[in-house]
């Protein structure tokens, strides 16, 4: 088990709160934003760029010894650093630019191949998820816990999907989920879906491939909530992404079988 880093955790909480304020300012005038397509169902707005620049600049000033990996600006390596901040400035850009409220800011601090803590700010809903090593899993500073269900039929499962997936990679997962008695939801933000598992709104999460910036913040919260999650960082998941399964122990094996 890694060691707590309460100083960085406190800094990250203030930083992600400030980033949420900036993101909300852009969201309030979303119809006038400059938006560019990076590919099918993959957008970037000026809000993404501005929020990531805010986070990156503040981190560079406070912790110049730390590396950085952001969805929009990429990887900045620091010689001899052991810690790296992994950031998605707007997870759920498509919902964001569509005027939907299912988007968030995700920040994780990773050290020596493990998530030390994670923060996810659903600014439009006024919800801040937090948790990590030595830090309890919370939603707006209140303790959270996973779903009490014993079978997939007892709750809803988030089925993650992106334009990187082919139909033949995702349709069989949907088929297995429904045949197992489950039902799916999706809102456009992997980090929010995983946090909904951490606080018991959803019974599980499955996705064939997700990028690190989309999930590590929430994985920090899941770990703190003692909810099983697959070994995402295995095989250089940090840079190349990985499959992910998350859910309470009673249903984890069933979720893993659904993903296949």
Within 10 angstroms of residue 65's Cβ, the number of other Cβ atoms is 10
pTM for the whole structure: 0.95
**CA-to-CA distance for 60 and 260, rounded, in angstroms?**
40
Q: Which pLDDT score, from 0 to 100, does residue 2 have?
A: 74
Q: How many residues does the chain have?
A: 260
Structural tokens at position 248: 């309470």
CA-CA distance, 34 to 193, in Å (whole number)? Answer: 27
Which strands sit side by side in the sheet containing 74-76, from one edge to the other? 74-76, 67-70, 83-91, 104-111, 114-122, 127-132, 135-139, 142-143
DSSP tag of 2 = P
Structural domains of the chain in order of their starting residue, each with its CATH number: 6-143 (3.30.540.10), 152-259 (3.40.190.80)
Q: Give the count of alpha carbons within 13 A of 98, CB side only.
A: 13
pLDDT for 39? 58
- Distance of alpha carbon 151 from alpha carbon 184, whole angstroms: 14
Closest CA to 219 of 233, 208, 203, 207: 233
- The pLDDT assigned to 38 comes to 60
**Structure confidence at residue 11 (pLDDT):** 98
User: DSSP letters of 79-136?
Assistant: TT--EEEEEEEEETHHHHHTT-S--EEEEEEEETTEEEEEEEEEGGGTEEEEEETTEE
String of b and e for 190-226 (b: at least 16 CB within 10 Å)?
Answer: bbbbbbbbbbbbbbbbbbbbbbbbbbbbbbbbbbbbe
Q: What is the CA radius of gyration of the chain?
A: 17
Per-residue pLDDT of the chain (260 residues; tens, 9 = 90+): 578 999 999 999 999 999 999 999 999 988 887 777 665 655 578 889 999 999 999 999 999 999 999 999 999 889 888 899 999 999 999 999 999 999 999 999 999 999 999 999 999 999 999 999 999 999 999 999 999 999 999 999 999 998 888 999 999 999 999 999 999 999 999 999 999 999 999 999 999 999 999 999 999 999 999 999 999 999 999 999 999 999 999 999 999 999 99
Buried b (16+ CB within 10 A) or exposed e, 171-181: eebeebbeebe
């Amino acid at each position: 088990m890694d060691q707590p880093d309460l100083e960085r955790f406190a800094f990250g909480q203030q930083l992600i709160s400030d980033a949420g304020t900036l993101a909300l300012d852009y969201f309030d005038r979303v119809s006038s934003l400059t938006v560019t397509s990076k590919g099918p169902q993959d957008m970037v707005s000026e809000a993404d760029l501005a929020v990531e620049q805010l986070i990156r600049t503040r981190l560079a000033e406070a912790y110049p010894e730390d590396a950085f990996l952001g969805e929009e600006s990429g990887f900045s390596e620091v010689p001899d650093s052991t810690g790296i901040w992994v950031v998605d400035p707007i997870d759920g850009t498509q919902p964001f630019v569509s005027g939907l409220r299912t988007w968030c800011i995700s920040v994780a601090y990773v050290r020596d191949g493990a998530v030390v803590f994670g923060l996810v700010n659903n600014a439009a809903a006024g919800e801040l998820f937090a948790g990590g090593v030595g830090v309890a899993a919370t939603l707006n500073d209140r303790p959270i816990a996973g779903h009490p269900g014993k079978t997939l039929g007892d709750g809803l499962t988030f089925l993650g999907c992106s334009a990187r997936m082919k139909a033949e990679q995702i349709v069989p997962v949907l088929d297995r989920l429904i045949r197992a008695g489950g039902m799916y939801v999706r809102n456009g933000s992997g980090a929010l879906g995983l946090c909904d598992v951490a606080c018991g709104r959803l019974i599980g999460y499955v996705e064939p491939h997700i990028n690190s910036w989309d999930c590590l913040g929430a994985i920090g919260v899941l770990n703190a909530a003692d909810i099983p999650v697959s070994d995402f960082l295995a095989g250089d998941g940090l840079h190349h992404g990985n499959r992910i399964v998350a859910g309470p122990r009673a249903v984890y094996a069933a979720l893993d079988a659904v993903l296949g």
